[in-house]
Amino acid sequence: MDNPKADRVKRVASLRQASVRRRLGLFLVEGPQAVREAVAYMPERVHDVYIDTSHNPHDDIISSALEAANPIYLHHVSTKVMEAISPDAQSIAAVVSSEGLIRTLDDIDLNPLNTEFSEIGSTSSDNPEKNYQPQTDLIVACWQARDPGNEGTLIRTADASGCRAIILVDDSAHPLNPKVVRSSAGSLFHIPVIQASTEEFFAWAEKHSLPIWAADIHGTQEHAPYDLVTVLADRNSGLVKPAATPIMLFGNEARGLPTEIVERAGRAVMIPLYGSAESLNLAMSGAVMMYSIAMAQHQG
């Protein structure tokens, strides 16, 4: 395919618009890593893959697509066509179905973790998708995370640290925003990603008696923040050996968490700052907290 003005190319490129994604129930996956994971973990969702083989043959992705039970249509395109589809595609992009991809709160598995396996992503006999197998008893939630790059990085980090799920609360960036998809580097196709309103989130946590820890450096008058090091050193803190799955709640990049949200959580925890920086950004704070908790649980 060599015509960047072809109708098919225009339709694929239009998936960068939120209104088109909602109307068609499709979204665009850009870049080798994200496309590779979509084809490997959810091949039945992948409709088409567009490849500029003049830059990279992507033989591994092509082989996986050809071996899929459902047909995945492969299109070899010119560099001009690939740039028309997406300037961020890095020579490969895929059109993927969004139906049912973003889960609900009731889809989160709260059963005791099964850590007696060697590979995350073992295949279920009655489900063509590879099943995500969490290894850390933690749920991550983000309240009004507006930056798509930060949100995608948090999804990736939650996946890498083995968390049960990530919940996008209130007016967060949409998880199928192209920058979120790229930043997640394929983790969007592994870990359960949920959207919920503030009220739905707190009601669900209360219903299941799940403790919420607000990642907040200030805390409130009634709930001064605990130091993360102190919390993780206390084996009875509920984060190292939790009686019920804890939720770590992060706030907006610019404003953090408002006082009323921290109050509703009932407890706050902060990352100690040993230098002169005022704070860490959202993605870095998320990485430090998730991995600290994961390593403490695994060491414990």
The reported pLDDT for the residue numbered 153 is 97
The reported pLDDT for the residue numbered 15 is 97
For 257-272, letters b (16+ CB in 10 Å) and e give: beeebbbbbebbbbbe
- Dist. CA 246–CA 244, nearest whole Å: 6
Distances (CA, A) of 143 to 37, 140, 209, 214: 27, 10, 19, 10
- Dist. CA 269–CA 231, nearest whole Å: 8
Whole-number percent of the chain with pLDDT over 90: 85
The reported pLDDT for the residue numbered 20 is 97
pLDDT surpasses 80 at 76 = yes
The reported pLDDT for the residue numbered 146 is 92
Q: Which of 55-64, 127-136, 215-224 has the lowest mean pLDDT?
A: 127-136
Listing DSSP states for 265-298 in one string gives H--EEE----SS-S---HHHHHHHHHHHHHHHHH
- Dist. CA 264–CA 202, nearest whole Å: 8
pLDDT in tens, 173-207: 999 999 999 999 999 999 999 999 999 999 999 99
The reported pLDDT for the residue numbered 279 is 87
Q: In the predicted model, what is the mean pLDDT of the chain?
A: 92
